[in-house]
Amino acid sequence: MGVCRLALCATASLLAANPVWPQAYPAKPILVVSTASPGSSGDAALRLMAAKMSASLAQPVVVELKTAARGAQAAQALARAGADGYTITYGTSGTYVNARFLFKNLAFDVLKDFAPISLAVSSPSYVAVHVSVPVNSLQELIDYAKRNPGKLEYSSSGVGSVFHLAGESLKLYAGIDLLHVPYAQANFPQMVNDWAAGRVALWFPTYAFLVPNMPKVKPLAIVDNQRSARMPDIPTVAETLPNFRGFPAWWAFFGPAGLPATIAERLSGEVRASLKQPEVVARLGDLGLTTIGSTPEELAAHLKREIDAVGSLAKAIGLEPE
């Protein structure tokens, strides 16, 4: 009798430590509410990952775009769904980090309302000028800007965008004066055309926008921690400005607050596995994306570093939420 009781207790303890229900997950399709712009490199990356995850999980991973209201629609959809792992979100640093310093009344707080799953990919930008600008290196650009203070223009898709942060970081670390020319997000194609035509001298394009416009434009440096395998001759900004802190765009997966750690770990593992598939790596490389695939803990630490860094830059340049 005592032995049986001990066995039952041991079994109960084992089940408590290792609940059965997470092993059954997922038992139905998983919805990914995405804030990535349709057709963007981040959107393309998500669909590649979703296809691989669907096959591995034996359940459809369905993508639904909700790009309006600065991520509020996606956050509300996540909050309504509950923390069962069947509705998660995917979006960019602009939504999760930059928006904190632009808008006073955001509908969500990524630190309180979301549970980290995985930092998936990043999209480094380049310091690139029109060929009419008489420089061939980042140092030459800095020297040229110092000789012509306030005359060199750089474009962005609006205040607080990754392109704006890149420009303001360059100004701050290089000690130069650049004129910011912001475009509305809806006018993004016009911004690209104006840069390629030389109407604006400087932009910080990602690989996907840089390559199609060469040789009308020339890259001087990459805003990343290392050189790109696709363009290994292009140095990093830090090779000229050692303390430079850039802000490459990145995309990550989050669940709602209260998501069980077992589910977050399962989904994180699926993201990492999808990003190791050779065809996925090759396709994302063609788009100029860097594959990451972090753990939930690594994403949480990354998020804090990004918020601190963008907050410091926002303070330095006088950026106030409206």
Q: What is the pLDDT of residues 215-243, one digit of tens each?
A: 999 999 999 988 998 999 999 999 999 98
Q: What percent of the chain has pLDDT over 70?
A: 92
* 118 & 259 share domain: yes
Domain final residue pick, 216, 239, 262: 239
CA angle 244, 126, 43 (to 5 degrees): 115
* 235 & 260 share domain: no
Domain final residue pick, 207, 239, 271: 239
Domain final residue pick, 202, 217, 239: 239
What pLDDT score was predicted for residue 23? 55
What pLDDT score was predicted for residue 282? 94
- Asked if residue 15 is part of any domain, the answer here is no
Within 13 Å of residue 250, how many CA atoms lie on the same side as its CB? 24
Q: What percent of the chain has pLDDT over 90?
A: 73
* 129 & 233 share domain: yes
* 51 & 88 share domain: yes
State the average pLDDT over residues 35-60. 94
* 60 & 72 share domain: yes
State the average pLDDT over residues 241-257. 93
State the average pLDDT over residues 14-41. 76
pTM: 0.87
Q: Residue 228 and residue 285: Cα distance in Å, rounded?
A: 10
* 133 & 228 share domain: yes
* 88 & 189 share domain: no
pLDDT category, 107, cuts 50, 70, 90?
A: confident
* 153 & 189 share domain: yes
- Provide the domain count of the chain: 2
Q: What residue type is 303 in one-letter code?
A: L
State the average pLDDT over residues 253-281. 97
What pLDDT score was predicted for residue 76? 76
> What's the whole-number average pLDDT of the chain?
90
Structural domain harbouring 232: 125-239
Q: What is the pLDDT of residues 170-197, one digit of tens each?
A: 999 999 999 999 998 778 899 999 999 9
Pairing verdict, β 202-203 and 249-256: unpaired
Q: Residue 252 and residue 25: Cα distance in Å, rounded?
A: 21
Q: What is the pLDDT of residues 48-98, one digit of tens each?
A: 999 999 999 999 999 999 877 666 777 777 877 889 999 999 999 988 999
* 195 & 105 share domain: no
- Asked if residue 14 is part of any domain, the answer here is no
CATH number of the domain encompassing residue 115:
3.40.190.150
Residue 311 has pLDDT above 70, yes or no: yes
* 137 & 229 share domain: yes
Q: Is the peptide bond before 26 cis (omega within 30 degrees of 0)?
A: yes
Residue whose pair of structure tokens reads 């998500």 in the numeric block: 46
What pLDDT score was predicted for residue 3? 45
* 130 & 117 share domain: no
- Asked if residue 223 is part of any domain, the answer here is yes
What pLDDT score was predicted for residue 15? 45
pLDDT category, 22, cuts 50, 70, 90?
A: very low
CATH number of the domain encompassing residue 152:
3.40.190.10
Give the residue among 258, 263, 252 at the shortest CA–CA distance from 27.
Answer: 263
- Asked if residue 96 is part of any domain, the answer here is yes
Q: What is the pLDDT of residues 115-138, one digit of tens each?
A: 999 999 999 999 999 999 999 999
- Asked if residue 61 is part of any domain, the answer here is yes
Q: Is the peptide bond before 215 cis (omega within 30 degrees of 0)?
A: yes
Q: What is the pLDDT of residues 138-157, one digit of tens each?
A: 999 999 999 999 899 999 99
What pLDDT score was predicted for residue 195? 96
What pLDDT score was predicted for residue 69? 62
Residue 11 has pLDDT above 90, yes or no: no
- Asked if residue 312 is part of any domain, the answer here is yes
- Is pLDDT larger for residue 15 or for residue 240? 240
